Amino acid sequence: MIGSVILRRVRVHVQVAAFSMSSSASEFKGYTDDKGAYVNRQAATGLVTDPVPEDVKDWSTESKPTGVLFKNPESTEEWRRFRLTPSQIDQYWRDGYLSNIRVLSEEMCDKLLEDYKQFLDPDKKHPGHGLFYEFHSNQSGDPENVLMHALGHWRITERFHDLVFLPAISVPASQIIDPSRKEYNIRLWHDQLFAKPPRHGGVVAWHQDYSYWTRTVPMRHLTVHVALDDQKPENGGLHFIPKSHRWHRDGMPLPITDDSFKDMESIQRVLTEDEKADFKPTPSNLKKGEASFHHPLMVHGSYQNRTNKPRRAAVVNYIGDGVKSDTDTLILGNTETIKKGLPMTGRFYPLVYETSFCEC
Ligand SMILES: O=C(O)CCC(=O)C(=O)O
């Protein structure tokens, strides 16, 4: 009974978080440029309704990497080079995350940042803007706490399209997506951008990712956070609460507590005394081009960016093949409905890795 009450609460919050950003959006007054100057232009709205010009390519029509970012492995041996070691897998299941895994070179990061900058330009929207699932130029609506957050850019540029197929992240994902340690074929769930401008960069309040994702079941999900700038506590780098991947309420995630998108410590309201005692924020200190992998129940968040440089990250969220829709409503903006009970397949959820590639 308690479980189903929590389930309902979580669902209501999920809907609010995913599709009803307009209350904070309507209060949004501006954005800051890379010199910290206030720019009063772009509206922060999660829903994206811009028309997509006919000559703009939607990269979700391509179900394989094109080769623009990396060369795809050609043999089993090449694929196997990306596998995690047994001790890394043990560490993931012990702590709920793995950090500082090199997945991109500096040069690859710089190429992705060229595309990233086109999404951050307050004067000009990218021509493919209408393909985003969600776009928030400032999710909190507070010009002193600016967090650009977007989903769906893998459809918009070829490089971000290829990023979701990167073997350095898709192969490990297959090894740690399920607690039984059975290796699964891996599909894209969705991608995300989180950018914090210099000096006014906002927080990402402590949360568990699966609190936002209960519309897909079972929980066989994984988040890969790729740093495109060096991260440290002062610039709003990602932090984890080790071992919090065991925190749940009758099998359900903790409820979403940060309705304002700037209340960093709001999660404390729903923690037990034991959880509060074990709440020990640990910085990931990712270097540019390194990634962390975290469990869908891992509590994580990040503080403000108070430095003079931007802090930008690209996140890829995966599901194990076989995860199903648990709703008849649209799961991601600007995609297609997948009826409740049907597997998450089709062009928006491509297979990015198959265990046969490593013969596993
Ligand atoms: O960029 C951040 O600080 C937050 C990212 C996040 O929530 C994630 O990687 O799941």
Domains of the chain in sequence order: 2-357 (2.60.120.620)
What amino acid occupies position 327?
Answer: T
Look up residue 314 and give its two tokens: 């690209």
Q: Which residue has better confidence, 6 or 288?
A: 288
Count of Cβ atoms closer than 10 Å to residue 69 Cβ: 18
Q: What is the mean pLDDT of the chain?
A: 88
d(CA 316, CA 154): 10
Quick: pLDDT tens for 83-102.
Answer: 999 999 999 999 999 999 99
- Cβ neighbour number for residue 273 with a 10 Å cutoff: 7
Question: Ligand 1 centre from 345 Cα, in Å?
Answer: 25
Tens-digit pLDDT profile for residues 278-309:
999 999 999 999 999 999 999 999 999 999 99
The residue with tokens 């995860």 is 323
**Type of residue at 170:** S
Give the residue, out of 148, 261, 282, 300, with the most ligand 1 atoms within 8 A of its beta carbon, to mutate for a pocket test: 300
Residues 100/287, Cβ–Cβ less than 8 Å: yes
Q: Is the CB of residue 262 below 6 angstroms from any atom belonging to ligand 1?
A: no
Residue 42: pLDDT over 50? no
Give the per-residue pLDDT at 273: 98
Stretch 11-16: mean pLDDT, rounded? Answer: 29
What spacing in Å lies between the alpha carbon of 103 and ligand 1's midpoint? 17
- Is the CB of residue 194 below 6 angstroms from any atom belonging to ligand 1? yes
Determine whether the shortest distance from the Cβ of 225 to ligand 1 is under 6 A.
yes
Measure Cα distances from 17 to 5, 175, 200 in Å: 18, 30, 22
238 lines ligand 1 (CB under 6 A): yes
Residue the block writes with tokens 């006919």: 54
The number of angstroms, rounded, from the C-alpha of 262 to the middle of its chain's C-alpha atoms is 18
> What's the confidence (pLDDT) of residue 47?
85
243: its two tokens = 């071992």
Q: What is the pLDDT of residue 297?
A: 97
Q: Where are the beta strands (DSSP E) in 170-237?
A: 186-196, 204-207, 216-217, 221-227
Counting ligand 1 atoms within 8 A of each CB, the residue from 238, 258, 303 with the most, and so the one to mutate, is 238
* ∠ Cα 308 262 154 (to 5°): 75
pLDDT at 360: 82
Please work out whether the CB of residue 189 comes within 6 Å of at least one atom of ligand 1.
no
The token duo for 263 is 């209340």
> What confidence tens digit (pLDDT) does each residue in 217-253 have?
999 999 999 999 999 999 999 999 999 999 999 899 9
pTM for this structure?
A: 0.89
In the beta sheet, which residues pair with residue 312? 195
pLDDT band at 35 (very low <50, low <70, confident <90, very high): low
pLDDT in tens, 179-225: 999 999 999 999 999 999 999 999 999 999 999 999 999 999 999 99
